[in-house]
Structure 1
Amino acid sequence: MGSSKVSMHEDILQFHCPRFEELPDLDLYMDQVLQVLDTHLYLFIEPGETRVMTKTMINNYVKHGIIYAPVKKKYTRYHLAYLIVVSFLKKVYSMQEISSLLQFQMISYPFERAYNYFCDELEQCLQATFTNQPISHHPATDEDLFAVHLIQHAIQSTVDKIYVQKSMDEVTRRILEKKESSS
């Protein structure tokens, strides 16, 4: 994969996880939530899927207490932030594990800070992993290093899975090209 790796994953390297203050500051209905998620996270739609999340998935997250229920069927930027985090972590972790991790982060840090840190770390890990560089974690300046290390490792394992999936997609594409050119 050598030098073509950077160009192969250029879209991933350009990814920007929307920070809390960049999320819509008005309440949204379910279809609008799905559109916002797809707009920001389209690069990470699972193979064979057409959306990052479905209505059923979101309803299940509410039912299982992963995110709190919408008010009058409207979702806030807090819901969007939770759903963005869940959309990544669900690639590797169970709903129970995600729920525990989110609860722990919320008792350790204010919501906006925890979410923005997640975005910073996610971008750092994507950059490092997709360019084969060492990860330079976003520095933590507070006393709860366990919470910081926990989220760093959760993000790293998620990014590793994304990397392997994207790379395997490229391997499959190359195999098909080779078969077509030899026929």
Structure 2
Amino acid sequence: MKTNKERLNDILDRLGTISYIKLEKIPEIDLYMDQVTSFMEEHLRKAKRNPEDKALTKTMINNYAKNNLLPPPVKKKYSKEHLILLLFIYYYKNLLSFHDIEQLFRPITEQYFNSSAEPSLSRIYEEVFSLEDQQMERLKADIQAKFQASEETFADFPVEDQEYLQLFAFISELSFDVYLKKQMVEMMIDQLREESEADTSETRKKR
């Protein structure tokens, strides 16, 4: 059985292999549905928990369009901008509801999708992920600090119990961190929704 330190090293090693898809890797030409799912499968395979899981399916893409997360394809083809939005959805979907993602995406799809407005959707994608390397280093440092703190818990318990209890403490601390950040994101989206509804109400009054 692995020690907690070995488990941590495995996690950090795997994190080092995960990266966002660079903008230049996203095809400039429009793709059919099967080509979109193949592209996602190829480039997101390292981020999957289980090798047999699908990164993206036709059903998922259709659901995103049905829930206003993704503009419809043109003549059954998806543009580079569609792929950019699908990548954002991929990162958000395990954290936020469709309702929240739709609220977050609305200004993006209304102002920048298939538009000559600046910044372009490609530029937005590039800017958002431009700090990825720094973020990964900060994440690893934070994980190591949490691990060290967990190693100091349950010091007065029998040695044979410490390993698992300290692992439990470590996982709990990571989970609480995710919980708090999820709460923050949801609060900000709720604020956006309230502001959007207030703007709509004010517009109606002026008519």
Which TM-score band (shorter chain)?
0.5 to 0.7
What corresponds to 2:16 in structure 1? 13
Q: 1:79 aligned to 2:82?
A: yes
Aligned residues: 139
Q: 1:114 aligned to 2:121?
A: no
Please report how far the alpha carbon of residue 56 of structure 1 lies from its aligned counterpart in structure 2 after TM superposition: 0.6
Deviations 1:84-118 (A, max 9, x none): 11001001101111122123456595422221123
Aligned with 1:33: secondary structure?
Answer: helix
Q: 1:48 to 1:20 in 2, by over 3 A?
A: closer
Deviations 1:156-183 (A, max 9, x none): 959x89xxxxxxxxxxxxxxxxxxxxxx
Tell me the distance in 2 between the aligned counterparts of 1:3 and 1:47: 21
Tell me the distance in 1 between the aligned counterparts of 2:66 and 2:39: 21
Aligned alpha-carbon RMSD (Å) = 3.2
What corresponds to 1:23 in structure 2? 26
Tell me the distance in 1 between the aligned counterparts of 2:132 and 2:95: 14
What corresponds to 1:89 in structure 2? 92
Q: 1:129 aligned to 2:132?
A: no
Please report how far the alpha carbon of residue 22 of structure 1 lies from its aligned counterpart in structure 2 after TM superposition: 2.8
Please report how far the alpha carbon of residue 3 of structure 1 lies from its aligned counterpart in structure 2 after TM superposition: 6.4
Task: Provide the identity percentage.
Answer: 27
Please report how far the alpha carbon of residue 50 of structure 1 lies from its aligned counterpart in structure 2 after TM superposition: 1.6
Aligned runs of 1:1-183 on 2, under 5 Å? 1-2=4-5, 5-47=8-50, 50-105=53-108, 109-122=119-132, 124-132=134-142
Contact 1:89 1:98 in 2 (8 A): yes
Q: In structure 1, list runs of 5 or more residues that go unmatched.
A: 135-155, 162-183
Q: In structure 2, list runs of 5 or more residues that go unmatched.
A: 113-118, 145-176, 183-207
Contact 2:45 2:51 in 1 (8 A): no
Query: Larger relative contact order (C-alpha < 8 A, sep ≥ 6)?
Result: 1
Tell me the distance in 2 between the aligned counterparts of 1:48 and 1:14: 15
Deviations 1:9-43 (A, max 9, x none): 42321333123343111111111111111112112
Aligned with 2:142: secondary structure?
Answer: coil
Larger radius of gyration: 2
TM-score (norm 1): 0.62
Tell me the distance in 1 between the aligned counterparts of 2:30 and 2:73: 9
